[in-house]
Chain A
Amino acid sequence: DSGVTQTPKHLITATGQRVTLRCSPRSGDLSVYWYQQSLDQGLQFLIQYYNGEERAKGNILERFSAQQFPDLHSELNLSSLELGDSALYFCASTEGSGGYEQYFGPGTRLTVT
């Protein structure tokens, strides 16, 4: 158990809908990272938040957004969902803003039908 929690475990929704994925980092960690893992593209970095502020951005679609709250949990919002958004979404956390030893949560499997 990494100490990172993610909810829900599974999510099935229809195209065009909007969903919110939630992540709680390990106790004491201030940074949260979001990754997307699809079958044909491996793990892709989406975005990093550190202590409530956006710190780094990857290839995150404009339809996706994230935020980190004062209690340090983070939410990833995915809107206008398309079939190609079906994937595993992981969050990871580290103590600092420049941490490389990232500890991953169990993931949310999103299926868009």
Chain B
Amino acid sequence: GQQLNQSPQSMFIQEGEDVSMNCTSSSIFNTWLWYKQDPGEGPVLLIALYKAGELTSNGRLTAQFGITRKDSFLNISASIPSDVGIYFCAGNPIRKETSGSRLTFGEGTQLTVNP
């Protein structure tokens, strides 16, 4: 099946630092999304991207849909303790069948922010 390679697997940073994580695929995706998951909770949608080259911000978060359509990155600026959690990229690869929609998820980046 489709695989997304998400890196890094984990990050340990100081409060106030900027963070960058990315996701790559061997297949072309028509949608990229970024989710955050807190322990014991469901993933929460942060940003959705629909167009190659698109750059979208949500507060201190910025994400980009790669021009090749095979990658995406997420930046968090001026990190704060509540940014702690697991960040997942997800996408919808272009398929032959047109019905339905499913997301393929990366393995997640565990972010730890030290006050």
Range of interface residues on chain A? Answer: 20 to 34
Which A residues lie within 8 Å of B44 (CB)? Answer: 2, 104
Distance from A21 Cβ to chain B, minimum over Cβ atoms (Å): 13
Least CB separation from B49: chain A residue:
A100
Q: In terms of DSSP, what is the predominant structure of the interface of chain A? A: strand
Does residue A43 face the partner (Cβ distance < 8 Å to B)? yes
A42-B103 CB under 8 A given contacts A100-B31, A100-B48, A101-B48: no
Least CB separation from B99: chain A residue:
A55
- Which A residues from 1 to 24 make CB contacts under 8 A with B? 2, 4
Distance from B105 Cβ to chain A, minimum over Cβ atoms (Å): 4
Which B residues lie within 8 Å of A43 (CB)? Answer: 43, 88, 90, 103, 105
Known: A45-B103, A106-B42, A107-B41. 6 other contacts (CB 8 A): A43-B43, A90-B43, A98-B100, A100-B48, A100-B92, A102-B33
